[in-house]
Amino acid sequence: MKIWRTLHDPQLEREVTAFVDERVIPVAGEIDAQDVYPVEIIEAAAAAGYNTLTLPTQYGGGGRSNQDALLVMEAIAYGSAAVAISMITIYQSQTIIERYGEPSLKERFLPQYAGGLRAAYALTEAAHGSDIRSLDTKALRTDTGWVIRGEKAFITSGSAAQLFVVLAETEIGVSAFAVPFDTPGVSTYVGPNATTFGLRNGPHVNLVLDDVEVPADHLIGEEGKGMRQAVITLAHSRTLAAGISLGIGRAAVDASLAFAGSRKAFDQTVLEFQGIQWYFADIVTALDAARLLTYQAARDLDAGHEIARYTSEAKLMASEVATRAASTAVSVCGARGTMESAPFGRFLRDAKAYEIAGGSTEVLKNTIAKSLLKAVSG
């Protein structure tokens, strides 16, 4: 059954779909139930080049487009959103280093990604979520580098990350740092708020930085510009985030459509009821529109256009449509939709959680509105 248009490279779509069928789908339920980081799959994805598609070839990356990365992320999330978010933190961390890092920092870390380096993106703190203009984690300049002290919270992929991109406040503002996990003073723990109901790729750990010393070139980009750099990086990764929601939404539609096509009630399949068909017509229309918007946003990104508005629109729409798709799937499948042995609860939990992670719905609307206000004020 193929009901979705191929919107980009059919060959890449075939390859990644085969990978997902073989490696991801069979273990997706278990990853969610056990709440574990999928180390082996991430290593296999790295070996296939999926963790470094947009990284320049000089660092061992694929040097490919954001559309390629979007396609891969959508396909992986179709199998497991937990695997896909394990990959998006890898993309976020390599993107900020590649865009802003010193040449020596890039040489040190970027080539490691093709070998399967696992990384996390640590902005949030217990007291700072959407608002990261000031932070409780502090970094002090020393003669040889920086000393960082503080605690980050809610860090996706943190249970298995070997490298953390950390936001900390310096004398002149929020700054970004590369912090390897094996640096003395770095530790993680599973706090009371680490376990989420969705996007379960291992607990979203707290990262403790206890007077952690890093060399001078581990400051990423300009001191005091860390928040701006981190937000631009997030804007870049938003087409991938939208792709994750699209993958979840498509998986929910496909699984519920297959169920409705075989389940009998009142001497016909459930899918033969017009009321059920209209559910599908509505949600497939919404998903098709969200896919077109997202692939266009990735094309804009590849063309180097202003991206904050369109990538925000893509994530906003895709995440809300995915939640609707998952919720509709539960309705269509009746009791089967609610069972723990069925994937629909996972789809619904993952989709809803992704309305918040990586830029909440409300904050995305602010970004979109800001570009409208700018246009109005000239």
Ligand X SMILES: Cc1cc2nc3c(=O)[nH]c(=O)nc-3n(C[C@H](O)[C@H](O)[C@H](O)COP(=O)(O)OP(=O)(O)OC[C@H]3O[C@@H](n4cnc5c(N)ncnc54)[C@H](O)[C@@H]3O)c2cc1C
Give me the residues that bind ligand X (CB under 6 A), please. Answer: 89, 120-124, 129-131, 154-156, 196, 199, 204, 353, 356-357, 360, 362-363, 366
As a whole number of angstroms, the distance between CA 174 and CA 224 comes to 5
Minimum Å gap between C-beta 360 and ligand X is 3
Nearer to ligand X, 111 or 129 (CB): 129
Residue nearest to ligand X (CB): 129
Minimum Å gap between C-beta 277 and ligand X is 34
Minimum Å gap between C-beta 236 and ligand X is 15
**Residue pointed to by tokens 């703190």:** 125
CA 133 to chain CA centroid, Å, is 22
Amino acid at 336: R
CA 353 to chain CA centroid, Å, is 11
**Nearest of 158, 150, 269, 140 to residue 204 by alpha carbon:** 158
Question: In a 3-state reduction of DSSP, which class is residue 222?
Answer: coil
Minimum Å gap between C-beta 364 and ligand X is 9
Nearer to ligand X, 45 or 123 (CB): 123
The answer to whether 283 and 276 are in contact (CB under 8 A) is no
Nearer to ligand X, 156 or 319 (CB): 156
As a whole number of angstroms, the distance between CA 373 and CA 378 comes to 8
Minimum Å gap between C-beta 127 and ligand X is 9
Minimum Å gap between C-beta 18 and ligand X is 28
Minimum Å gap between C-beta 29 and ligand X is 18
Amino acid at 291: R
Task: State phi, psi for 149 to the nearest 5 degrees.
Answer: -140, 130
Nearer to ligand X, 14 or 133 (CB): 133
Nearer to ligand X, 205 or 253 (CB): 205
Q: Which helix (H) or strand (E) holds 288?
A: helix 274-302
Please list, in sequence order, all residues whose beta carbon lies within 8 angstroms of the beta carbon of residue 174, skipping any fewer than 6 positions away: 132, 133, 134, 135, 167, 168, 224, 226, 227
Nearer to ligand X, 124 or 256 (CB): 124
The answer to whether 86 and 76 are in contact (CB under 8 A) is no
CB atoms < 10 A from the CB of 127, how many? 10
As a whole number of angstroms, the distance between CA 181 and CA 167 comes to 15
Task: State phi, psi for 20 to the nearest 5 degrees.
Answer: -65, -45
Nearer to ligand X, 153 or 260 (CB): 153
As a whole number of angstroms, the distance between CA 343 and CA 329 comes to 10
Minimum Å gap between C-beta 129 and ligand X is 2
Nearer to ligand X, 169 or 302 (CB): 169
